[in-house]
Amino acid sequence: MDLWFLGTAAGRPTKERNVTSIALKLPDPRCEIWMFDAGEGTQHQLLHSPLKLSKLTMLFVTHLHGDHTFGLPGLLSSRSYFETKEPLKLFGPPGIKQLVTTALEISGSRLEYELIITEISEGIVYEDEQYKVEAALLDHRIECFGYRVTEQDRPGKLDGEKLKRLGVPSGPLYGQLKNGRDVELPDGTLIRSSDVVGAPVKGRVVTILGDTRPCDNAVKLAAGADLLVHEATFAEGQEEKAYDYGHSTTLQAAQAAKEAGARQLVMTHFSSRFRGEDMPALEDEAKTVFPASAAAFDMMHIHIPCVH
């Protein structure tokens, strides 16, 4: 899994930062792009990354504030210029369908693929054999969600040398053993999956929160996460201002990561009052509470490795 921060500013873009968007690239063999929010200019940011819009299959919106949604019409329209006809699934809070369909209709935009829009509530919003995405309400000025992406555990590695010694022919039997099924050879020998397959590979968990004050659901969504992305619009000492605007400070983001037992915290959605030279101090604030903290910047790339 790989994560790209396409925009890390709060409210409005600056010369250093675009407004909010995050892209998650799934590992082989899927290699799909899942996007979280699409502020104005997101498709321009994609052009400066190694990511391809044609690979975008899922888009999750946290809330309907413009700095998280004004890039949607252009992004969706541009996807039609690629050869892919694969449907795009769009998830978001109530109102997302009206926002998108109205913009496309009155602009005369025509999509060359199926756009499937789901207005979500709390709970599991998507699940397949490999991934599950859960959503929960946060504490912001309007209805806002956080998302927890869970990769399902994968079977361990087959011990090829042992299989050869046991006389197991390569082919379908290998697949059955890898999937946890015992097999019987023609001579009656029973081969147990547990004897030839290594320990399962634990699935990764990535939590991406929308705008929020400190709240219980932020911690629940991030429980045991390999990576927590948490807004930190304000700095230490600005707690009252953060509360008034429905946001968090660096220390509050770090406290959420600590309480959740996350492995790593990346802060984003910084107020325009902060410049690049301010980032080390903001990181240091968070590290006093949660040492594995970092401040995101536009085009920041993070690889999330498997943990055995």
Give the residue ranges of the annotated binding site for Zn(2+): 63, 65, 67-68, 140, 211, 269
CB-based burial, 253-267: b 16+ in 10 Å, e otherwise: bbbbbbbbebbbbbb
3-state secondary structure at position 226: coil
Specify the amino acid at residue 5: F
Lookup: tokens for 259 = 């309480």
Question: What sign does the dihedral 243-245-251-252 (CA atoms) show?
Answer: positive
CA 233 – CA 245 distance, rounded (Å): 10
CA 250 – CA 285 distance, rounded (Å): 7
CA 205 – CA 229 distance, rounded (Å): 11
Please report the beta strands in the chain, taking only residues with DSSP state E, as ranges in sequence order.
2-7, 21-25, 33-36, 56-60, 88-92, 115-119, 123-127, 131-137, 145-151, 183-184, 190-191, 205-208, 227-231, 265-268, 293-295, 301-303
Q: Which residues are catalytic?
A: 67
Residue with tokens 């604030």: 285
